Amino acid sequence: MSTTAEQAQTTDGVYIVSLEIKDTKRIEALLLKPEPTGLTVLGGLNEAGKTTALDVLTWVLCGDKHKPSQAHRDGAEKPPFASVEFSNGYTVERRGKNSDLHVTGPDGGRGNQTTLTGVRGFVNAFALDLPGFLHSSDRYKLDSLLNGLGDGIAERYAKLRADEKAKEKERREYHGEYQRLLNVADSLPAYPDGPRQVVSSAELIAQQRAIETQNAENGARRQKHAENQAALSETQEAVEELTSELATDNARRSESNIALAKASQKSQSASQEYDARKVSVNRLREELRKATEEQDAAGRIVADCAAIHNEVRIDVAHFERASSNTDRKLTEAQGAKARLAGALAQDAATVALLVDQPTGDIAAQLDDLDAQNEMARANLAKSKARAAAAIGTEKYENLSAVIAQLRADEMALIDGANMPLPDLSVEDDELRYQGKSWDCMSGAAQRRVGVAIAQRLDPSFRCVCVDEAECWDVEALAKFAGDMKAQGLQVIATRVSTGAECDYIIANGVVSEVAE
Separation in Å, CA 170 to CA 394, 450, 468, 507: 14, 36, 45, 59
Please name the fold of domain 201-362: Helix Hairpins (1.10.287)
Structural domain spans, the chain: 1-124+463-516, 125-151+417-457, 163-191+389-403, 201-362
- Please report the pLDDT score of residue 7 as a whole number: 38
Residue 418 three-state SS: coil
Round the average pLDDT of the chain to a whole number and report it. Answer: 86
Helix ranges (DSSP H) in 368-516? 369-415, 443-457, 474-486
CA 193, distance to chain mean position in Å, is: 28
**Cβ 424 vs Cβ 145: under 8 Å:** yes
pTM over 0.75: no
Radius of gyration of the chain (CA): 69
- Please report the pLDDT score of residue 469 as a whole number: 95
15-27 tens-digit pLDDT: 999 999 999 999 9
- Are both 1-124+463-516 and 201-362 of the same fold? no
Separation in Å, CA 426 to CA 142, 143, 412, 439: 8, 11, 11, 14
Distance between CA atoms of 471 and 496, rounded to whole angstroms? Answer: 10
- Please report the pLDDT score of residue 79 as a whole number: 95
Separation in Å, CA 510 to CA 43, 47, 50: 12, 12, 10
348: enclosing H helix or E strand: helix 288-353
191-240 tens-digit pLDDT: 888 787 877 778 777 877 888 888 888 888 888 888 888 888 888 888 88
Does residue 431 carry a pLDDT above 60?
A: yes
**Mean pLDDT, range 460-488, rounded to an integer:** 94
**1-124+463-516: CATH class:** alpha beta
Does residue 115 carry a pLDDT above 70?
A: no
Distance between CA atoms of 273 and 286, rounded to whole angstroms? Answer: 19
**Distance from first CA to last CA of the chain, Å, rounded?**
7
